[in-house]
Amino acid sequence: MKDFDYIIVGAGSAGCVLADRLSASGQYTVLLIEAGPDDRSPLIRMPKGFGKLLGDPRHAWHLPVTVDPASGRTQEIWARGKMLGGSSAINGMVYMRGHPADYDEWEANGASGWGWPTMARAFRSIENHALGESELRGGQGPLKVAPYAQRSAFGEAVIRGCESLGLQRKEDINELDHEGVAYLTYTISGGVRQSAAQAFLKPARKRRNLQVVTETQVQRVLFDGQRATGVSACRGAGEQVTYRARREVILSAGALESPRLLQLSGVGDRDLLAQHGVALVAHSPNVGQNMREHLLCFLQVRLRHWRDSQNREFSGPRLVKNALQYMLAKGGVMALGSYPVGGFFRTRPDVDRPDAQLLVAPFSMDFSSPTYRFESFPGMQLFSYPLRPRSQGSVTIESADPAQPARIVTNYLADEYDRQVSVGAFRFMRKLIHSAPLSDLVLEETHPGTRAWTDDEIVDEFCRYGQSGYHACGTCAMGSHDESVLDPRLRVRGVQGLRVMDLSVIPTMVSGNTNGPMMAMAWRAAELILEDAR
């Protein structure tokens, strides 16, 4: 079958939810197209398996990023999931909701229907929370989430150190007042990753009205005049195929790919499209603009005792033992998320809510190694970043050839606000490692060590050695203004029959990790799509 009511491009966090919800009634035929393979690799199920998957070109896109020469960097590559489940199948699995004010601010600025009361309902609808159902949490949804499964002296020392700096200990990191520290919540259940494909798509694939095709890369949206009628795609080794949509095409390819597809299809800035010989369908100058990204910076320390560090658990005989423990019982370190503890804090007392995020892990990386390697002594890693960066990057095509990657410009720390919060976040980490009782575990700071003491040096540390949080968003932002790429119902302005639902649609960054908000937003998006269909 080549004709469907709805075509969804991209089987990631949003696409899997949409495929489930749009096919649930049996009333509509749905096609879900994924460029990568099925999610059969056992490394996907294993929570610690993503370390290998991130470097595997069969399961991850490796996208070159334009480097600012002034940053001191030589290259930067962003990884994104390339399989059923998308990035939810290779991410760090941290489950956060964002701050209620994030959503209320969207609504106040024109994204009507996306305020916190609506989104709180969507979160409760998707959640099956190990802490149980409550006014805050959902207990009957398809997505199983749970706090970090193992308590330890290390985790307790980190939490008590944060308490000494004024943070409140929480049972659930997603409690509404937000500021505080907790064992993090993960999309892990019984030692198994709960990707969007596992939670939403796997049950839905039993329906006859849902078809899923893999290893098929969409190259363009097809139009009849200004109405989207389907997509042109390349299957396998080069077979060209066309799929037709009777109702709508929905782009859920991610904040880097969806704007690229729009531009390749003729929706974007007219001058950019003319430069590359793409016929204009609709002038929309903000396609690919407004990109926000978390830029994190690491701090690492040498610990006094091996009992507090996992550094030697991932090589040699210990790795074999841990892999066997996972295969036999879904237990041990391979069944856990990477960062036991995290939280939200204010870098200045005069801000109205937390403006920075912290994550802490009982391991440390050898940054001098060209490969992914842990340090040879007991170590600990911390990282932090500004929650709601204001600096804006972009994603733009450099050719009409679908095989050519887009130009991704990060523009990290261009805004003074981001620089100030980054400095405050880094100084908080330094205070934490010297705060009792965590300080009793610490021998010395090893990274950046003697570097990065003045404000300018800390900013330089972020610029040279910081890392993307893999949370890029905002490149097809919704809003009520004519210059917004999407209206609040996620319809692409200037055309008919075309929507976008992925991280590109959010006007500003959510406060925290983005996978949870994406799945909840896709749940809400499906409601809007079905309302419009009726």
User: How many Å apart are CA 284 and CA 226, to the nearest integer?
Assistant: 13
**What Cα–Cα distance (Å) separates residue 127 from each residue in 98, 119, 304, 516?**
15, 12, 40, 10
User: How many Å apart are CA 286 and CA 283, to the nearest integer?
Assistant: 9
For residue 74, the one-letter residue type is T
Identify the residue whose tokens are 């393979």: 37
Range of the domain at 422: 3-533
Output 369 or 64, whichever has higher pLDDT: 64
Identify the residue whose tokens are 């800390």: 458
Cis peptide before 437 (omega within 30 of 0): yes
pTM for the complete prediction?
0.97
Evaluate whether 529 touches 248 at the Cβ level (below 8 Å). Answer: yes
Looking at residue 210, its pLDDT comes to 98
Task: Name the token pair of 85.
Answer: 């489940």
User: How many Å apart are CA 378 and CA 434, to the nearest integer?
Assistant: 17
Looking at residue 181, its pLDDT comes to 98
Largest CA distance in the chain: 68
User: How many Å apart are CA 164 and CA 348, to the nearest integer?
Assistant: 16
> Strand pairing partners for 201?
none
Looking at residue 334, its pLDDT comes to 96
Looking at residue 7, its pLDDT comes to 98
pLDDT in tens, 406-426: 999 999 999 999 999 999 999
Strands annotated E in 304-349: 341-345
Looking at residue 371, its pLDDT comes to 80
User: How many Å apart are CA 476 and CA 71, to the nearest integer?
Assistant: 27
Average pLDDT, the chain: 96
Looking at residue 72, its pLDDT comes to 76
Our answer to whether residue 471 is catalytic in this structure is: yes
282 — alpha (psi -120 to 50), left (phi > 0) or beta? beta
Averaged pLDDT for residues 7-18? 98
Averaged pLDDT for residues 261-275? 98
Confidence class for position 171, pLDDT limits 50, 70, 90: very high
pLDDT in tens, 272-302: 999 999 999 999 999 999 999 999 999 999 9
Looking at residue 73, its pLDDT comes to 80
Confidence class for position 71, pLDDT limits 50, 70, 90: confident
Cis peptide before 349 (omega within 30 of 0): no
Looking at residue 1, its pLDDT comes to 56
User: How many Å apart are CA 13 and CA 252, to the nearest integer?
Assistant: 8
Evaluate whether 284 touches 263 at the Cβ level (below 8 Å). Answer: no
User: How many Å apart are CA 181 and CA 157, to the nearest integer?
Assistant: 12
pLDDT in tens, 228-240: 999 999 998 889 9
Number of H helices, E strands in the chain: 14, 25
User: How many Å apart are CA 473 and CA 392, to the nearest integer?
Assistant: 10
Evaluate whether 126 touches 519 at the Cβ level (below 8 Å). Answer: yes
Task: Name the token pair of 28.
Answer: 């509509």
Q: Which of 451, 455, 392, 396 is nearest to 424 (CA)?
A: 455
Q: Which helix (H) or strand (E) holds 116?
A: helix 116-126
Question: How large is the C-alpha radius of gyration of the chain?
Answer: 22
* Cα angle, residue 359 at apex, residues 184 and 427 outer, rounded to 5°: 145
How many other CB atoms are there within 10 angstroms of residue 420's CB atom?
17
Residue tagged active-site, from 99, 129, 471, 481: 471
Output 73 or 44, whichever has higher pLDDT: 44
pLDDT in tens, 389-406: 999 999 999 999 999 999
The phi and psi torsions of 438 (rounded to 5 degrees) equal -60, -35
pLDDT in tens, 74-115: 789 999 999 999 999 999 999 999 999 999 999 999 999 999
Q: Which of 334, 341, 376 is nearest to 362 (CA)?
A: 341
- One DSSP character per residue, 4-53 reads EEEEEE--SHHHHHHHHHHHTTSSS-EEEE-SS--S--HHHHSGGGHHHH
pLDDT at 432 over 80: yes
User: How many Å apart are CA 428 and CA 179, to the nearest integer?
Assistant: 14
Evaluate whether 51 touches 372 at the Cβ level (below 8 Å). Answer: yes
For residue 116, the one-letter residue type is W
Confidence class for position 70, pLDDT limits 50, 70, 90: confident
Task: Name the token pair of 376.
Answer: 């040879």
Angle of helix 13-23 relative to helix 515-533, nearest 10 degrees, comes to 30
Q: Which of 24, 53, 21, 18 is nearest to 39 (CA)?
A: 53
Evaluate whether 337 touches 409 at the Cβ level (below 8 Å). Answer: no
pLDDT in tens, 13-55: 999 999 999 999 999 999 999 999 999 999 999 999 998 999 9
pLDDT in tens, 177-209: 999 999 999 999 999 999 999 999 999 999 999
**CATH number for 182:** 3.50.50.60
Task: Please give the tally of structural domains in the chain.
Answer: 1
> What is the dihedral angle through the alpha carbons of 75, 76, 82, 86, rounded to the nearest 10 degrees?
180
The 3-state DSSP class for residue 300 equals strand
Output 476 or 72, whichever has higher pLDDT: 476
The stretches of 434-514 forming alpha helices (DSSP H) are 455-465
Percent above pLDDT 90 for the chain: 95
**What Cα–Cα distance (Å) separates residue 378 from each residue in 262, 304, 306, 311, 434?**
48, 7, 5, 6, 17
> Strand pairing partners for 81?
60
